[in-house]
Structure 1
């Protein structure tokens, strides 16, 4: 009975940003739980490694490419994904970051970060969510951040986008819970990914971050597997509008 609650057999999931890092780990985890995956990245062939990992593990996966900074391309991604069949699970993991002091932050980079991290997540949720509403079932998982709670340093656009993701998650949950659609978010702590490469390389910041984490280590992408499967499965059917921190205890300190 308990195992069945977490099974994703017969489900189809679309995961953006699945070429590497957190997105790849989430896609592989969902596949291991039984879901069929549609993996997306910005470049054609970008998800080849992820698809191969899933197939090697006995799962099913295909790939699509889309530039999440282009609204028309995002709309086409939603249409193409829905054309392949029912989407039961949407994971908005695709994201980007740009670092610069706030008083020097280029507006071009501001718009790109907001477009990729926020606009694309909302548009995909809107298009795929409409189909979920029609059949009264679905799971949407947004990827938030520790910067959904705090301000960060030299990443004002990223911080703004992740605060907004937290708000959009709650707003969609308020409207769609009545349709048996659960909209939640995962807020990863400090994980070893490309997005945090600059922090990892900064000896002083790296040490300060590690010292604050009760688990005494940075997260690895695979540490998100359990949270992702939980929020994608029947086990979370009464969880709505929640931000699940997976942070090694960062927020507790």
Structure 2
């Protein structure tokens, strides 16, 4: 399905950092920021995908650089934010999108559990901590974390994913309170089933795709641009009185 988002923002002179930006929601957000005039720091452990996102941003007339980072490593995150500030002079927006899911692994396994928490939850904390410190030096900013509808509900297959996404919403609410008087707003997007590389195996199987689409009242999978549009709105002045909010983008999946 093609999604045409007609709303436009002017982020000229602003700097955005997006993790997990080699594809899917992260890439869509990085490109949306670039098209809106922001300078973008693209980050991921997938260097080839990250560099491709940078090239797509340039082709769209935007400015972007790539910096590799494993968000589970606090030193690497510190270096990532330092690169953003060192290269562009400031940091205004952070979209903490890097995460993993384990559709074919046993999340009760200790190693899988620890890696899930290290990336999905620790990684968000590392990014929030460093981004906020940089924003405090330049008058504030906006942080958006990628949670999930599994941060509100549960599923029987993914204990680690569910636990981490509940945790991301909690961290988001904490950050909103911590920096409320510092002109730093902290929100989260909570996608449902979105058509990304993470769900590619499902999308390519007709039976599985129909089953996933049937879980959504709108009868389809969401598109990365539909989440990216919400991220940009949460970073914009139109959302200047919105903080601590987990914004559900799920085609009605959590309504029923």
Q: Residue 59 of structure 1 aligns with which residue? A: 62
Tell me, yes or no, if structure 1 residue 191 matches structure 2 residue 186: no
- Provide Cα deviations, 1:166-206, integer angstroms capped at 9, x if missing partner: 00000000111111111001111101122223444666654
- Following the alignment from structure 1 to structure 2, what is the Cα–Cα distance between the partners of residues 138 and 180? 6
The question of 1:237 aligning with 2:240 is answered yes
- Gap runs ≥5 in structure 2: 1-5
The equivalent of 2:210 in structure 1 is 207
**Secondary structure, counterpart of 1:251 in structure 2:** coil
Q: Does 1:47 align with 2:50?
A: yes
**Larger helix fraction of residues:** 1
Residues 196-234 of structure 1 deviation map (CA, whole Å, 9 limit, x = unaligned): 234446666543432232221001112223212101111
Kept in 2: contact 1:29–1:228 (CA 8 A): no
When the two structures are superposed, what TM-score results if normalisation uses the length of structure 1?
Answer: 0.91
Q: Aligned residue for 2:97?
A: 93
Normalised by the size of structure 2, how large is the TM-score?
A: 0.90
Is 1:144 matched up with 2:150? no
Native 8 Å contact 2:169 2:188 kept in 1 = yes
Tell which deviates more after alignment, 34-43 or 205-214: 205-214
The number of residue pairs the alignment matches comes to 250
Root-mean-square deviation (Å): 2.2
Q: Provide the rounded CA distance (Å) in 2 between the counterparts of 1:95 and 1:213.
A: 22
For residue 179 of structure 1, the aligned residue among 182, 186, 210 is 182
1:15/1:37 contact within 8 Å kept: yes
User: Tell me, which stretches of 5 or more residues in structure 1 are unaligned?
Assistant: none
Give the whole-Å Cα distance in 2 for the aligned partners of 1:249 and 1:30.
26
Tell me what 2:133 maps to: 130
